[in-house]
Structure 1
Amino acid sequence: MSHPNDQSKLPAAASSASAAIDFLTLTRKLKTTKRTGWIMRGVPNPESIADHMYRMSLMAMIASFSNTTINTDRCIKLALIHDLAEAKVGDITPHCGVSDKEKYELELKTMEHISEMLGPLLGGEEILGLWKEYEEGVTEEARLLKDLDKIEMILQAQEYEVDGGHEKSLDQFFTSTEGKWRTEVGKAWAAEIVSRRKGVGKDDGNISKENDGS
């Protein structure tokens, strides 16, 4: 029978400590890197990649509770992993001049590096598998998370419109997602956000006065 303070378990923990701290240090970039789309539209003090990932994780948790066919834990893991590669490659958008193929290859290379860094003891293979699952978007959980990624984006856009001060219109965030929802949750939550947006008016009156000629 092993004792709760069995010293034989310490070497394994010690051997993985360096890899764990290396990984966690890398993820600091997620906390400090601002999301590109908001920067390009002149949003003051925009959210970081980690900000987006955190609220998306909460979305994954509550959205999966009402669906008995969906694995809640898996949804939360997918949310936490889906933008992990951006800790190294940054937040690449369609306006950055990088093709989808090149973006995927850059992110895959990063995720393979992270997987190797963590090794089997720290779940490296599982994390890489989760990232690939999200990218492929085939499983029910991945389809939901693809929708929630866009839901978090338009909710944030709507909130920035209410806050005001941004230099350019945020309409594109809404038009780019129209008709692209793959789940009932996505459709329902998007409709609610759009309804609230109409209730307070669009962003035309919120765009910085410095840029409207007045």
Structure 2
Amino acid sequence: MTFPSLPDVTIVETPRVDGAWTVDKALEKISTGKPTEGSTSPVPYFHMLERLKTTKREGWKRFGISRGESIADHMYRMSLLTMLCPPDLAAKLDMAKCIKMCLIHDMAESLVGDITPVDGVSKPEKSRRETETMDYITTRLLGNVHGGDVGAEMRKIWQEYEDSKTLESHFVHDIDKMELLLQMVEYEKRAERKLDLGEFSYVKTRISLQPVMEWADELMKEREAFWAGQAHFRGDLADGGIEEGKKAMQADYYDGAGGK
């Protein structure tokens, strides 16, 4: 039995709006329809989560990686990295909160999309969009689910990550960077041609906790050994030859207490 050709149902676009970005403008662009608000059921929220599975991390696209990791892929591995936190540091952390933070910290990107340092969106504007989206998710979608307690907890944990004042938030910021570095090296190794993603190695300079820095140092030695074995390779990969303008944008993007 054959089926007629269908549009690619796996494509989920980040909503593009005219003028000032708002949650309601973005919701009107969702192809599956605006989720029901004020329900006592979490099902509308469950549908929003699909967008994390299907929305790709944008930074890789500039290098021709069109089918790269999704936002959910990134957060899932972060949560597993967290579980391998060295015991001395883990004893100082609320590990359950850290895992939740890994799974929540990019939730706003389900509607906002993955905004990168070179996208021309200021850090305050990015923060405004993400804050508005988290308020929408945790109140308009989850406010009546189980008395709103779960939504309120999600909102609190997300804000703790954004404020980056606690040890848990510093650790998860570091894990966020470590996961990016891992993916960078893995894409480079898998490429059939020379693929230098070294501009992303900048995030290593913003890791703050020694145990995570030790992981990153080990990974960078692995990367150096890989490139040393490439006969066609020439040049220094320390920063991937990143342009000064991009360096400035990255510095601005990651500036702050948590290096976000």
Q: TM-score, normalised by structure 2?
A: 0.68
Question: What are the equivalent positions in structure 2 for 1:85-164 lying under 5 Å apart?
Answer: 85-116=108-139, 117-119=141-143, 120-121=147-148, 123-164=150-191
Closer, same or farther: CA 167–23 of 1 in aligned 2, 3 Å? farther
Q: CA deviation at 1:45?
A: 2.2
- 1:95 aligned counterpart, secondary structure: coil
Match of 2:237 in 1: none
Distance in 2 (CA, whole Å) between partners of 1:167 and 1:92 is 26
Q: CA deviation at 1:121?
A: 3.6
Q: Which runs of 4+ in 1 moved over 3 A?
A: 165-168, 202-206
- 2:85 aligned counterpart, secondary structure: helix
AA partner of residue 44 (structure 2):
D
Closer, same or farther: CA 203–60 of 1 in aligned 2, 3 Å? farther
- Structure 1 gap ranges (5+): 1-14, 207-214
- Structure 2 gap ranges (5+): 1-38, 234-260
AA partner of residue 111 (structure 1):
M
Alignment: residue pair count = 189
CA displacement, residues 53-79 of structure 1 (integer Å, 9 cap, x when unaligned): 100011112216542110110000000
Q: CA deviation at 1:95?
A: 1.1
Q: CA deviation at 1:200?
A: 1.2
Match of 2:11 in 1: none
Match of 1:35 in 2: 57
Distance in 2 (CA, whole Å) between partners of 1:122 and 1:28 is 22
* Counterpart check, 1:182 vs 2:208: yes
Q: CA deviation at 1:137?
A: 1.0
Question: What are the equivalent positions in structure 2 for 1:15-94 lying under 5 Å apart?
Answer: 16-17=40-41, 20-63=42-85, 65-66=87-88, 67-94=90-117
Distance in 2 (CA, whole Å) between partners of 1:54 and 1:193 is 19
- Contact preservation (8 Å) 1:42, 1:168: no
Closer, same or farther: CA 166–141 of 1 in aligned 2, 3 Å? farther
Q: TM-score, normalised by structure 1?
A: 0.82
- Contact preservation (8 Å) 2:188, 2:197: yes
Closer, same or farther: CA 162–125 of 1 in aligned 2, 3 Å? same
Distance in 1 (CA, whole Å) between partners of 2:161 and 2:228 is 32
The percent of aligned pairs where both chains have the same amino acid is 38
Closer, same or farther: CA 91–166 of 1 in aligned 2, 3 Å? farther
